[in-house]
Amino acid sequence: MRLVKELQKRRWQRLPISFPVFVRSVDQFGKPFRELATVLNVSAGGIMLAMSPRRIPATNLLLDLPVGEVLARTAKSSVREIPAKIVWSTSHTRCRLIGLKFPDLLQ
């Protein structure tokens, strides 16, 4: 029953795809960092990703997403920077799972 209610609350369907992405932010000491992470699922509203168990005090991250060859030619870059806000975060022994919300790009 709980799962049905959760699915009804979602605005967009989640797609279980996995790809690498670089995450940029600042660490607990205020120093900028760039780290490779793995996107685990995607929706129009955001993503869930796994990264090192590093503690991230910031609420906003910048994602460096690789784009395809056609987009790279038109944008003159093979990477697109997308700002995202941390909605939730949970730590496990080997990684940190983070739920990110995109700005109102599609609304």
**Confidence band of 41 (pLDDT split at 50, 70, 90):** very high
Mean pLDDT of 52-80: 72
CATH topology of domain 14-101: Pnp Oxidase; Chain A (2.30.110)
90 contact partners, CB below 8 Å, separation of at least 6: 96, 97
d(Cα 77, Cα 84) in Å, to the nearest integer?
A: 20
**Confidence band of 4 (pLDDT split at 50, 70, 90):** very low
Q: What residues does each domain of the chain span?
A: 14-101
d(Cα 54, Cα 68) in Å, to the nearest integer?
A: 30
pTM over 0.85: no
**pLDDT tens profile 5-27:** 555 566 678 889 998 999 998 87
d(Cα 57, Cα 30) in Å, to the nearest integer?
A: 9
**pLDDT tens profile 86-101:** 999 998 888 899 999 9
Q: What DSSP character marks residue 78?
A: S
